[in-house]
Amino acid sequence: MAHSHADQASNGQLSRSLSHGQLTMIALGLAVGTGLFLGSGPAIAIAGPAVIISYAIGSLIAAIIGACAGEMAVRYPVRGGFGTIAGKFLGPYAGYLTRWAYWMTTVTLAGAEVVAVGKYMAYWYPQAPLWIWVLIAGGAIFALNLTSVKSFGVVEFFLSSIKVTAVILFIIFGLALVFFGLPGQEAVGTANLTNDGGFIPNGPASIWLALAIVMFSFGGIELISISAAEAKDPVRSVRSSAKAMMWRLATFYVLSLLVIVAIIPWRNASELGKEIEGSPFVTVFSELGIPYVGGITNFILLTAALSGANAALYAATRLLHSLGHEGMAPRVLARTSGQGSPVLALTASSAGAVVAMIMAISGVGNIFGYMMALVTVSVLVVWSMILLSYIAYKKSEKDPAPFQVFGGAATAALGLTGIVATFIAMFFVDKSMLTSVLVGLSFFALVTLTYFAGVKKNVRSSDDAFEDARAVTTQLPVTEKRP
């Protein structure tokens, strides 16, 4: 018998309302956004045209992470996603650390994106105080996450569709301008890929160093695992969403960067993205002769920031909800509303975003850069735990899942090597990034101390916690194959 929303709320159960299309777009809502639209300039400054290789490597690492998280989510579409799975296969502390790391990632990201929304609105209304737009945007995503997950999925699908469509059009018209030309414009060609020092002007090591910035762009690919607990059909949804997202991310990032560095000399492109008008997307659209390019691109950037903030707050809320269930956070955070929405976890997660927002409004220098580096540190920890969980999962699971990663544990080990290399690169890029690395490490030290000082004694065994999470989120046999 199907459970009513009231029954779900009484059990702290999340509502199963997400289609596989919505599942994919929620993940893309985080993975396609600020990192692509504005964040490519610093990476180009490091690697020049060879940044294309950096993004290709980043896409491969992200695909491995997304696939491994997807395979485990198909088998175990549990509340808490990869955090709960890490607890089962690596122990309670691993599950605790993974989820708090991801909570920090998403809360910081939500705050940064909400502040970005306010800055984008200032493009049209420069006289209005920043805090007004930040307050409106923050209130809007809070209200949206407060409604049913079905409504959330519909709106996130719409927001993500706008920016995905924009990226597709950018690639199509950009490649046409590079290789064929457009009416009234000759083909640009590929000379800019080798002018001014060659394709790798700063040496092969620059490809590796650029990963420290590039990998921020792929944050969000792991969200499929979190959303699986609210999918109508987790087996079909996760399997199709994981495959679709891997191909889309690789295509979007690699081809977009190819267009940018082919049309704009790389030294010029490396200076872009510091202001809205300086986005590589704005510059390339200007080359295409599109009227009102500033306003059009600003609308796309605004949509991307709203979508990213929306998806980040959703993820943070679900992580805190699962931590409450397992006694790794106050248990009151596990409660849900009559619509299956974890209201108290949402409120607590929003408080973190408000703190980040206040810091930005107060005029702290380069706060956005610090926050993005902090997000990268945190998400690298999360990704490492996902891949380590997958390796342990492959050793213990004998029956094949409906969706499997090519190469299994060996592929996961390759992805883990890429993550370690990226983390090391963060120590060599600049001082602001090094500061964020140290802040991130301090946070994880504090979280660890808290766990062993008080949380550990209240945590149930990994197997009990996992079975509870599975019981309230599984309606169909997760190994059942769908036509």
List of domains in the chain: 21-471 (1.20.1740.10)
Mean pLDDT within 214-226: 76
Instruction: Identify whether the C-beta of residue 300 lies closer than 8 Å to the C-beta of residue 166.
Output: yes
pLDDT greater than 70 at residue 201: yes
**pLDDT at residue 67, as a whole number:** 85
The residues, any chain, with a CB within 8 Å of residue 415's CB and separated by 6 or more, are 60, 61, 64, 65, 68, 383, 387
pLDDT greater than 60 at residue 2: no
**pLDDT at residue 280, as a whole number:** 66
390 band by pLDDT with thresholds 50, 70 and 90: very high
258 band by pLDDT with thresholds 50, 70 and 90: very high
**Amino acid letter at 90?**
L
The residues, any chain, with a CB within 8 Å of residue 265's CB and separated by 6 or more, are 192, 195, 196
Q: Which residue has the tokens 């159960």?
A: 13
476 band by pLDDT with thresholds 50, 70 and 90: very low
**pLDDT at residue 6, as a whole number:** 43
Lowest mean pLDDT among 90-99, 171-180, 348-357: 348-357
Mean pLDDT within 309-331: 81
Question: Between the ranges 162-171, 198-207, 278-287, 348-357, where is the mean pLDDT highest?
Answer: 198-207
pLDDT greater than 90 at residue 380: yes
Higher-confidence position of 138 and 369: 138
Lowest mean pLDDT among 351-355, 423-427, 432-436, 478-482: 478-482
Instruction: Identify whether the C-beta of residue 210 lies closer than 8 Å to the C-beta of residue 421.
Output: no
Helices (H), 91-232: 92-121, 130-146, 149-179, 205-214, 223-227
Lowest mean pLDDT among 162-171, 228-237, 452-461: 228-237
**pLDDT at residue 8, as a whole number:** 43
Q: What distance in Å separates the CA atoms of residue 363 and residue 392, rounded to the nearest whole number?
A: 45
**pLDDT at residue 273, as a whole number:** 52
pLDDT greater than 80 at residue 151: no
pLDDT greater than 50 at residue 198: yes
Lowest mean pLDDT among 43-57, 62-76, 204-218, 411-425: 62-76
Mean pLDDT within 381-406: 88
Q: What distance in Å separates the CA atoms of residue 132 and residue 430, rounded to the nearest whole number?
A: 33
